[in-house]
Amino acid sequence: MRSWDLGNLLGFLINPSGINYARLRIWYGQVANDLPPSAKVIDLYKENGIKRIRIFDPNPKTPQAVRGSNIELLVCVSNGDIENLANNAAAATDWVQRKIKAYFPDVRFQYIAIENEIKLNDAIALYVLPVMLFYTNVLT
């Protein structure tokens, strides 16, 4: 039996064929030792024609390196931030200001993901929809 997380379920509801189009994007994780600087990684992506990147921690170095490149970003809200952002509108607004608006329009943000492999029975799952709705209102 397949283990379904919230992202898979939402993806399946939107795309019932089950094809995961997010796999066509490069995932840029930054939790490790001895990683090259973001600017070098982004230069490597540019050299190889990579146009879409998913970043899990929108620290300032990555969007700064992507500025003006036409690389599209899918930015993830860290799972550890979701409950606070769902319960604190000021924190959620500040997150959008610091992580998105500070770089727009020089950085092309394609999506904001409000979860990363959260299971339906995880305690944090109930906070995903409120954050999604808040960001929908703030960004439109």
pLDDT in tens, 23-42: 456 666 666 677 788 888 88
The candidate with the shortest Cα–Cα distance to 74, out of 48, 102, 99, is 99
Q: What is the pTM of this model?
A: 0.73
Q: Which of 88, 90, 134, 98 is nearest to 114 (CA)?
A: 134
Is 79:118 a contact under the CB 8 Å cutoff?
Answer: yes
The per-residue pLDDT for range 91-128, each reduced to its tens digit, is 999 999 999 999 999 999 988 888 778 888 999 999 99
Question: What is the C-alpha separation between 55 and 37, in angstroms, rounded?
Answer: 14
